[in-house]
Amino acid sequence: MNFIDFLGFSVGICVTISVIPQIWKVWKTKKVKDISLLTFSVLTFGIALWVVYGVLKNDMPIIVTNSISLLLNIVMVYFIIYYEKE
Amino acid sequence: MNFIDFLGFSVGICVTISVIPQIWKVWKTKKVKDISLLTFSVLTFGIALWVVYGVLKNDMPIIVTNSISLLLNIVMVYFIIYYEKE
């Protein structure tokens, strides 16, 4: 793996794990009042398109990290919808 | 511009604007209690690294969209810190 690919993976991991503290916070507090559902919905849609972009460019760092990111953000969107109803 | 570049820009714009509803919500309500500062800090750091990655790969969609994204997320981090103190 060259330096640019390594950087790509590091960045991807960084962005990917970034949503975990937010998921954890919502999981603990069950409160989502201040969080924008629209933000996380559009973000999730955008990340899904990043995966497609990565596939078309055959860019592994983009494909791998955004796939994980996509899963985490789907969890986040589910949490917002679920706890907003409560 | 070819299709892949067009897709890259579309995706980038999508992810970039995604934070705007969250900024708008905080701006209106002045409330950030449910939002994770750690999430937005790590995300901002990651986006800054995406810009570097884009420069090294000479990938214009990544450079342009992540630069705008970086500015918006810096605003978001500032808002969280500012309104958390209040």
Chain B nearest CA to A11, separation (Å)? 5
> What's the pLDDT tens digit per position in B14-67?
889 999 999 999 999 999 999 999 999 999 999 999 899 899 989 888 899 899
Residue A60: burial class (beta carbons within 10 Å; 0-12, 13-18, 19+): middle
Q: Which candidate from B8, B21, B33 shows the least CB-CB separation from A38?
A: B21
CA triple A27-B14-A59, angle to 5 deg: 90
Per-residue pLDDT in tens (0 to 9) along chain A, 86 residues: 788 888 888 888 888 999 999 999 999 999 999 999 999 999 999 999 989 989 998 988 889 989 999 999 999 999 999 998 87
Tokens at A39, concatenated: 């933000």
Structural domain range at position A77: 3-84
Paired tokens of A16? 């990917």
Domain CATH number, residue B35: 1.20.1280.290
A39, B7, B28, B63 from B14: Cα distances, Å: 10, 10, 22, 14
Q: What is the pTM of this model?
A: 0.87
Tell me if A26 and B8 make a contact (CB, 8 A cut-off).
no
Number of domains in chain B: 1
Is-contact A57 A65, C-beta < 8 A?
no
